[in-house]
A and B are shown apart, each in its own frame.
Chain A
């Protein structure tokens, strides 16, 4: 089993819709969680950190479920520019473990 698992997708979603995807992690001691966004063949960029209480940044909401060991990302009112691969990142000791990413395609 991978330490951080994501559904690779692609998720094909019409513009304006709400989409959510999860990421599961295996290390129950993990304390830091992040979502990064990566456009095709470009560098990952931090989208948001994920806090225990959940957090929201505009149309994006991230939540953490420690009991079930997953984090989620919800995107509301999706835009064409949201098309990208979303990478889940979880810490393990002093290193970060990266998921392989979920590809999202927003269609007009």
Chain B
């Protein structure tokens, strides 16, 4: 089983719909992250969490929200999806101050 699991793997939705992407991990890491990747651009940080009670905005948090339900679970929501949120989304974890990241397999989201 994967250490970092994202669901769904693919999602097609319509403008204005609410979408939730889920991430769970079995690595026991405190730190969790949500990134998006667009063609020709580097990964951009949406939100990150250093523990269950800690949520921080990243570079591009507008239009997104997150919930850290437990150490192992970190979900990303798009309250009202728009087409420019079409992207490949990755969840990642890291251990303590070590910045090495472990990624889930990604969620390809298409907003029509």
B100 and A49: CB pair below 8 A? yes
A1: interface (CB < 8 Å): no
Of the candidates B59, B100, B104, B106, the one whose C-beta lies within 8 Å of that of A34 is B100
| Residues of chain A within 8 A of B41, CB atoms compared | 100
The yes or no answer to A27 lying at the interface (CB within 8 A) is no
Are B103 and A96 touching (Cβ within 8 A)? no
| Interface of chain A residues 19 through 65 with chain B (CB within 8 A) | 32, 34, 41-46, 49
B108 and A41 contacting across the interface, CB-CB below 8 Å: yes
User: Cβ of B105: which chain A residues have Cβ within 8 Å of it?
Assistant: 42-43
Confirm or deny: A86 has a beta carbon within 8 angstroms of a beta carbon on chain B. no
A87 and B42 form a contact (CB under 8 A): yes
Please count how many residues in chain A sit with their CB below 8 Å of the partner chain's CB atoms.
20
Q: What residues of B have a CB within 8 angstroms of the CB of A99 in the complex?
A: 42
The docked-state distance in angstroms from the alpha carbon of A32 to that of B108 is 29
Which of chain B's residues have a CB closer than 8 A to the CB of A44? 43, 90, 101, 103
* A32 to B100 Cα, complex, angstroms: 10
Cα A97 to Cα B106 with chains together (Å): 19
CB–CB B42/A4 < 8 A: yes
Question: What B residues does A41 contact at CB under 8 A?
Answer: 88, 106, 108
Mask for A77-88, Cβ within 8 A of B = 1, else 0?
000000000010
Q: Which of B45, B88, B90, B104 contacts A96 (CB 8 A)?
A: B45
The smallest beta-carbon distance between A67 and chain B, in angstroms, is 23
A77 to B: closest C-beta gap in Å: 26
Specify which chain A residues have a CB less than 8 angstroms from the CB of B101 in the assembled complex: 44, 46, 96
